[in-house]
Chain A
Amino acid sequence: MIQNFSYDQDFKNLMSNLSTEYGKEIMNLEGIGNALDINNTSKKYFKEKFTVNATVDQNANVDDNTVLGYMMEIPKPYFRLNSLYKMWETVRKLFGKDKANEVITAEVSGAIYTHDLVGYAVRSYCWAASMLDILNKGLPFIPRVKSIPAQHLTTFIQHINQTVMFMSNQLDGAVALPDLFVSISYFVEKDIRDGILPNPKTDYDRYLKEITQQFQILVYTLNQPVRGGQSPFTNISIFDRYFFAKLFGDITFPDGTKPDYDKVNDLQKIYCDMFTNELRKQVLTFPIPTAAIAVEEIVNPDGTKARKAMDPEFMDQIIQYNLEYGHFNIYTGEITALSSCCRLKNEIDNDQMKEATELSLKNMNDNSLSKEYINTFGATSALKIGSHRVVTVNLPRIALMSSDEKTMIDNLTHHLSLAQMVLEAHRYIIRDVINTGKLPLYKFGLMDLNRQYSTFGFIGLYEMIHLMGENPTSEKGLEMMEQVISRFNTYAKGHDKIKEETSYIVEFRDGTFVKKVINSKVSILRMGKKESINISDLKYNDHYDGRTVKAVATQKDKIIYTYNVEQIPGESAAVKMLQKDRIIFKSPELNNIHLYSNQFVPLSDKMIIAERMTIHGTFDHKIGGGAILHINVAEKITEPSVMRTLVENAISKGVIYFAINYNFLECQNGHITVGKKTKCDQCGAPIIKEYTRVVGFITPKENWSNERRTEDRQWLKT
């Protein structure tokens, strides 16, 4: 089928060779085999009860099983194919044809895995957006209905919702709202002063009711499936006193007031009460709350060092809220770094990121919000961060290819180089798309590619060491894990750079412009004759891109390349990589593995929490892009002292990001309880649905892949 597309013949030949070499099954797993046959895919979709069983792109957040799901799923194989072409084309331009072929081979065969390949050719991945931007400027990026800055809380809540709706459709991954409560606090105080909201000092009950209702509107809207049948993937942050001071200590609101922690924390508490109350009625996945607990190192009287929460009062607050449903992701770090997304760590004082901020300020055009924003709010831009793409290296594959540790590291380095090319190509692709104006949030300064990491992902570290013949949790096994993580980090750091790059601005005679970041070959009509020339060689009167050229100018742009490393959740990657490895390597050892682990020790392993935390704590601070430790406790913790012990132990063991996972049960009558029962605690009715945190967020198990369900059964067994 692909032979009929207008792709470069070299690409078509490559795909045909890959299909012959790896067979139909691999092409199907890649989502560009049978799924390209729209008739078959349509039939399959309507035969399956759940979309997860009919998609080429499994995602537990997809719970739309209607025709909308169908409309979203059907084109995915085509998007994937086109993304591969765009990847190939761009890598070829940057690194040559051989490398382009190698990258696509690695991608199709499962040696590397580009996340959300569907959107690779047009979208970036995730972003922590500042709601202070919206507070200041309204919604100028929605051209049809321009909204000026909100004047009151109710409008601002709608602005937040509309921003998330817009932004989440421009991204493949998550939207984080780290300064949500700070920005809301501005309107709450303003509305109290204006007499629109009751004064909490005189009428707290009515104040509480009004604020709770606004938060309900926010949460219920954010959970609507407005992103092609999915809810936007959103994160919010709840800060302790120390993080708050570091992040917001210097900011001043437009009316000259400054945010007050106690007032902001009161809003955080109202929100947590509201969310817990809603969870009693139904499981709400979004927004995923991260509680940021600042920790410091203290020296004990005996000279030993320990990590301790700086704001114990806040920690107790979170412990209390986390008891009933365990729904917080907990970040415990020093105040120089922060996780505002589901796991991405933001090095607030990182020099390259500081340079990115300065550069953004310098490069801003007149449409940008950020100019005023940075002048007005200063340091808060540190919160604005993201990843433009994650490319994961299949670690068990490295082990399957390697005979000893040396070849293991050599093979890893080689695969990292392939992943790096995919990431660099993607940065170019996104720059090009930004230049076309089709990613307007960049143009308006609400997003900034210079502040988006290129992320190397890893998964299956445990299985890799096991396949190398070592016990992963032995001293030697842990040493090998350390070696692998170090290689990732040195490779990532080695590719951080600030480069001055030339772009080409083509001016047309009709007054329009186009900016291209690669001096690629283009087809033109010159004196009525078809020619293929580089963009830089365009001349007056050449006919290109349907227009007549006036002139070509060059522009030097300072581009920041920042890489980081993430232990990826790999909801679907964990399964696909294993399946591809089984087909290609036929190793019997792979049959004993359900899926590649997104933890340092798989959840199916019966290792006790203390040891799991020790291992996670050893490596967590080395994973700049983040990792999350799942602490699975099947039964509800009822005593705050037990929850506190778990949190304090995690802190003392050096665990930075973790979640305490319960097993949620929904009965026929809609009651939500926790545990391992077959009947409801509250009414005795049968349990009809189970939920838990699968890869960082809580989803119904019926939306999971079979492999994830098997893993889940393993940890629930005892």
Chain B
Amino acid sequence: MSNSIYDSIVAINDTTIDCKDTLGLIIHVSDCNMNCNFCFNRWLTKTSNRVEVSSILSTLKKNLGFYQSLTISGGEPTIYSDLPLLIEDIRKIDKTLIIKVDTNGYRIQKAIHADVIALDYKYPFSEYITRTGMDGTFAHSGLNYIMMDTSRGYIRSTMTNEHFQNNFDKVMTAEILKYNKGIRWDIQEFVDMPTVNRPDLIIDQKYNIRLLDMRKIAMALTDKYNSGRQK
């Protein structure tokens, strides 16, 4: 594994969903500090594919104005100390591009120069160590970081069958509600794909109502956040 993000980009794709309301690009970096069972990008840690940063920058230069956003995703981008340099290099090419970083919160301050930060809030803090291999304290501090500046940060959670079986939905909701603050919270449902192959994690129909309840709370928080912004 390289220590530099410049040697660690494994894919570049179009996206219409990763950065809200924009036609964008998403780049994926290899390697992650976590090992989540529902990860659909696990292949990133195994591939030897590499995309040159220079080719990404030249693509951006050739297509100025074509894309409105660029998302740096993973793997985990904040494991690389030179993430801020990459963001700076991209911004030099296209000043209008919205740069977004997807992170699990590991070293969230590395994403400080991004326009948008999306924090993956995966489990109740107490469960992180057993389910991801990493202590939950950094996830907690990541969340605190996002809560400090909700204008450019938001959180998202992928819910699996396991979450509901263990009542994590309730604990996670309680943990977020403690902040008593409006925040954009996106609740995603686990989708099995050939790259994941975990049919056991597909949410059972009996949990549909709980998923819906969780979504309602998340939407209420998002509404609260939006109404705060309007003021």
A610 with B59, Cβ < 8 A, contacts A633-B16, A678-B202 known: yes
CA distance A609 to B21 in the complex (A): 17
A677 contacts across to B, CB distance below 8 A: 189, 191
A633 contacts across to B, CB distance below 8 A: 14, 16
A684 with B16, Cβ < 8 A, contacts A611-B59, A718-B11 known: no
Residue of B nearest to A660 (CB): B16
A609 contacts across to B, CB distance below 8 A: 14, 23
Q: Which listed residue, A614, A635, A646, A713, touches B194 by the CB 8 Å rule? A: A713
A614 contacts across to B, CB distance below 8 A: 62-63
CB 8 Å contact bits of B171-214 with A (1 = contact, 0 = none): 00000000000000000010111110000001101001000000
Say yes or no: A608 contacts B12, CB within 8 Å: yes
Chain A residues 607 to 657 lying within 8 A of chain B, measured CB to CB, are: 608-611, 614, 633, 635, 637, 639, 641-642, 645-646, 649
A678 with B191, Cβ < 8 A, contacts A608-B59, A609-B14, A642-B21 known: yes
CB 8 Å contact bits of A694-717 with B (1 = contact, 0 = none): 000000000000000000010001
Q: Which listed residue, A608, A649, A678, A713, touches B13 by the CB 8 Å rule? A: A608
Say yes or no: A649 contacts B11, CB within 8 Å: no
Q: Which listed residue, A608, A679, A684, A685, touches B14 by the CB 8 Å rule? A: A608
Say yes or no: B195 contacts A717, CB within 8 Å: yes
Residue of A nearest to B199 (CB): A678
Say yes or no: B21 contacts A639, CB within 8 Å: yes
Q: Tell me the count of chain B residues lying within 8 A, CB to CB, of chain A.
A: 27
Chain A residues 585 to 618 lying within 8 A of chain B, measured CB to CB, are: 606, 608-611, 614
B195 contacts across to A, CB distance below 8 A: 717
CB of A97 within 8 A of chain B? no
CB of A676 within 8 A of chain B? yes
Using C-beta atoms within 8 Å of the partner chain, give the interface range for chain A: 20 to 34
Say yes or no: B21 contacts A610, CB within 8 Å: no
A718 contacts across to B, CB distance below 8 A: 11, 13
A642 with B23, Cβ < 8 A, contacts A684-B208, A718-B11 known: yes
A606 with B11, Cβ < 8 A, contacts A633-B16, A679-B202 known: yes
CA distance A679 to B16 in the complex (A): 21
Main secondary structure of the interface of B (DSSP, over half): loop
Shortest beta-carbon distance from A305 to chain B in Å: 15
CA distance A205 to B11 in the complex (A): 52
CB of B32 within 8 A of chain A? no
CA distance A717 to B151 in the complex (A): 33
Residue of A nearest to B40 (CB): A718
CB 8 Å contact bits of A668-689 with B (1 = contact, 0 = none): 0000000011110000110000
Residue of B nearest to A675 (CB): B191
B194 contacts across to A, CB distance below 8 A: 713, 717
Residue of B nearest to A608 (CB): B14
Shortest beta-carbon distance from B39 to chain A in Å: 14
A635 with B11, Cβ < 8 A, contacts A611-B59, A642-B21 known: no
A637 contacts across to B, CB distance below 8 A: 16
CB 8 Å contact bits of B15-30 with A (1 = contact, 0 = none): 0110011110100000
CA distance A718 to B40 in the complex (A): 9
Say yes or no: B192 contacts A678, CB within 8 Å: yes
B203 contacts across to A, CB distance below 8 A: 679, 684
CA distance A637 to B17 in the complex (A): 7
CA distance A639 to B20 in the complex (A): 9
Q: Which listed residue, B11, B22, B193, B202, touches A642 by the CB 8 Å rule? A: B22
Shortest beta-carbon distance from A571 to chain B in Å: 24
Shortest beta-carbon distance from A615 to chain B in Å: 12
Chain A interface residues (CB < 8 Å from chain B):
606, 608-611, 614, 633, 635, 637, 639, 641-642, 645-646, 649, 676-679, 684-685, 713, 717-718
Which 5 residue pairs of A and B lie closest in terms of their CB atoms, listed nearest first?
A: A610-B63, A645-B23, A639-B21, A610-B66, A609-B14
Chain B interface residues (CB < 8 Å from chain A):
11-14, 16-17, 20-23, 25, 59, 62-63, 66-68, 189, 191-195, 202-203, 205, 208
> 9 A–B contact pairs at CB < 8 A?
A635-B17, A641-B22, A645-B23, A679-B189, A684-B203, A713-B194, A717-B194, A718-B11, A718-B13
Extra contacts, 14 of them, besides A608-B14, A611-B63 (Cβ < 8 A), are: A608-B59, A610-B63, A610-B66, A610-B67, A633-B16, A635-B17, A642-B16, A642-B23, A645-B23, A645-B68, A676-B191, A677-B189, A678-B202, A717-B193
